[in-house]
């Protein structure tokens, strides 16, 4: 699994292995972009995610950037998570929802995620606490380098990012098979910690 901070902001390169200890501790990295940015231009209306007023409560709301993003599958992995139907959630009680954005690692999915993150960063999305972006593999095997490079750029627009591998059993409708332990278990651990954090959010 790959977690990254924001490459939109120039940062000095670190030596190989410098982040090993932090990664093994399973502590989500501190966000570089943790709230909308002044001066960011919002995407065209056709490229924005809609808003949906949702009822009830959830520890985490999972928002797919596009159809087939893995929104439902991801929500099933995380206790207390609910899907939003590819829309930014708006809570009836006016409180701020905690949201995970998800997409597939193909060009369509990454472009949709980029538009959604631009919408959020511009302040055009509803008031919410965006925890990060999960990029799910769109096919078995290694993702082509051009897509990996684009995914790194897109992921940099989110507070945090997770890159998750293909699960072949899911392709055949087997929802009982657990995903690969290392990548997915760390992802689930990270989200559980973030969703249960009671520290006031800086997102506004």
Residue 195: the pLDDT is 83
Name the H helices within 25-96.
71-77
Domain carrying residue 59: 41-196
Name the pLDDT band for 23 (thresholds 50, 70, 90): very low
Residue 153: the pLDDT is 94
| 100 assigned to some structural domain | yes
C-alpha to C-alpha distance for 114 and 65, rounded to whole angstroms: 9
C-alpha to C-alpha distance for 70 and 164, rounded to whole angstroms: 11
Domain CATH for 92: 3.40.50
Q: How many domains does the chain have?
A: 1
The pLDDT tens digits for 164-189 are 999 888 887 776 666 766 899 999 99
| 131 assigned to some structural domain | yes
| 5 assigned to some structural domain | no
Helix (H) or strand (E) holding 119: helix 107-121
Residue 170: the pLDDT is 83
Mean pLDDT of the chain: 81
Q: How far is CA 79 from CA 4, 61, 75, 93, 193, in A?
A: 24, 11, 8, 22, 11
The pLDDT tens digits for 104-129 are 999 999 999 999 999 999 989 999 99
| 63 assigned to some structural domain | yes
- Backbone φ and ψ for 49, nearest 5 degrees, come out as -75, 145
| Six token digits for residue 180 | 């690969």
Taking the CB of residue 32, how many other CB atoms lie within 10 A of it? 17
Closest by CA to 101, choosing from 57, 60, 152, 62, is 62
Q: Is 106 exposed, middle or buried (0-12, 13-18, 19+ CB in 10 A)?
A: buried
pTM above 0.85, yes or no: no
Answer whether residue 69 shows pLDDT above 50: yes
The pLDDT tens digits for 31-47 are 456 566 655 666 667 77
């Amino acid at each position: 699994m790959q977690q990254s901070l924001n490459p939109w902001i120039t940062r000095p390169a670190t030596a190989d292995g410098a982040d090993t200890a932090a990664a093994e501790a399973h502590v989500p990295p501190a966000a570089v972009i943790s709230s909308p940015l002044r001066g960011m231009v919002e995407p065209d209306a056709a490229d924005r995610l809609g808003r949906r007023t949702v009822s009830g409560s959830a520890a985490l709301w999972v928002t797919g950037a596009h159809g087939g993003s893995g929104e439902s599958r991801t929500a099933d992995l995380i206790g207390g998570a609910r899907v939003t139907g590819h829309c930014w959630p708006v809570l009836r009680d006016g409180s701020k929802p905690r949201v995970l954005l998800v997409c597939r690692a193909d060009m369509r999915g990454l472009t949709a995620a980029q538009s959604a993150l631009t919408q959020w960063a511009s302040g055009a999305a509803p008031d919410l606490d965006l925890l990060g972006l999960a990029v799910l593999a769109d096919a078995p095997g290694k993702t082509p380098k051009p897509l990996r490079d684009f995914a790194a750029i897109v992921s940099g627009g989110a507070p945090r990012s997770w890159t998750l591998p293909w699960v072949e059993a899911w392709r055949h409708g087997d929802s009982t098979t657990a995903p690969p332990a290392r990548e997915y278990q760390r992802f689930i651990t990270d989200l559980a910690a973030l969703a249960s954090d009671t520290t006031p959010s800086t997102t506004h």
